[in-house]
Amino acid sequence: MGHAPLNIEYWASLYPVYTDYAKEYDEAMEYTRLVDRAEHLWDWKGLNRTTDFEQIADVLEQISSENYLNRGHEEAIESLSGHLNDEGIVESKSLVTSAFLLHLIASEPDQYSVKFPIYDRRVWNAHVYLWGIREDGEQLYRQASQSSSQYSAFCRKFARTCPDGKARDYERALFMFGGFIMNLPPRDAPTQIKNIDEKLASQEKALTDMHDTSGYALINLNEIQGSDP
């Protein structure tokens, strides 16, 4: 198993500080049925912006978890997305709704799915930056990739680099880190990779000098620079 090139404990600790999402998620995952979990997290995930839950409730009642859990990432998300399209639930090519439902299917109250982590533009852009998918001279994306193969690449990298028993914290760390780099000024366009490099290098040096720490405070710049996509 590889290593995550960011300080998971630090970034995950910001999640309950800057969001109130943790409690809602934990409470919703206590339900055993997919439809109940989805109902309690539909607004939480922002899926209500494109689809009212009432439109999808009956469809979720009929979804069999066994149809997706043992499939590969690409096959699972293409199959579920196709099903939702056939039912007239999801009209866009976005994979976020289907990916989120796969996460709810695969997770348990005390077991965050390593195979199907939550996928959105924040964690996707964290993935893009941390593993050098976009390089100096390029910029982050406005939204999560709509490619099933890219989604699969994200899931595989997540599983290979996730410390044992830390999947939930790892996703939350990526969520917070992704939000941080996407919000770096100027905010009228997706963040330039060069700008992220400069800001993080400056912060890393300041924190290291301040605390005289070994290792790294926020991210591991050397690992990012030496990692392969």
Residue 18 within a domain: yes
pLDDT in tens, 51-94: 889 989 999 999 998 899 999 999 999 999 999 999 988 767 77
Residue 3 within a domain: no
Provide the domain count of the chain.
1
The DSSP result for 83-148, as a single string, is HHHHTTS--SS--HHHHHHHHHHH-BTTB--SSS----HHHHHHHHHHTTSS-TT-B--SS----H
Residue 89, pLDDT score: 83
Residue 1 within a domain: no
Tell me the residue range of the domain where 84 lies: 8-226
Mean pLDDT of 105-116: 96
Residue 2 within a domain: no
Residue 182 within a domain: yes
pLDDT in tens, 136-174: 899 999 999 999 999 999 999 999 999 999 999 999 999
pLDDT in tens, 180-210: 999 998 878 899 999 999 998 888 777 766 6
Residue 106 within a domain: yes
3-state secondary structure (DSSP) of residue 179: helix
Residue 163 within a domain: yes
